[in-house]
A = this chain, B = another copy of it.
Amino acid sequence: MNIGEAASASGVSAKMIRYYEEIGLISPVQRNGSGAYRVYGAAEIHHLRFIRRARDLGFSVQEIGALLKLWQDRNRASADVKAIAQEKIAALEIKIAELEAMRKALQHLAAHCHGDLRPDCPILDDLAGTTRDFH
């Protein structure tokens, strides 16, 4: 299987497959007879799917490196994996809270903005720091 086929089979773009190889997330695969083309088998596709799924779940490439190691360590403790997942959950919660705060603040401002042709605008007033309390 060439890289293009591996890409569509795994959901990871050819570009990214080469990149993951370059940074050492996956080891270099075999090449074809002339050594020109990368050749992928079922095991490699499996790896790539793993990576793809982990990316979708929000893990960074570095974290995926750790997960891959654990995946291949038959004696791993499930606690090690769970710890990584829980750190990620905590990070997600922080990020979500930040975005929620932004959303709330913006919605509050937008709710008080006429949104018509008049120039008066509480949103800009807030950004400019000239807000009079409009509660």
Contacts and interface: CB of A to CB of B under 8 A. Distances in A.
Contacts of A126: 53
Contacts of A82: 110, 113-115, 121, 123
Interface stretch (A1-9, A16-24, A30-38, A90-98): A90-98
Contact of A119 (B74, B107, B127): B74
A83 B106 CA distance: 11
A46 B127 CA distance: 10
A85 B128 contact: no
User: How many copies of this chain does one complex carry?
Assistant: 2
Nearest to A76: B119
Interface residues of A, number: 53
A58 to B, nearest CB: 4
Contact of A96 (B57, B96, B113): B96
A25 interface: no
A57 B81 CA distance: 34
Interface of A: 46, 49-50, 53-54, 56-58, 67, 70-71, 73-79, 81-83, 85-86, 88-89, 92-93, 95-96, 99-100, 102-103, 105-107, 109-110, 113-121, 123-124, 126-129
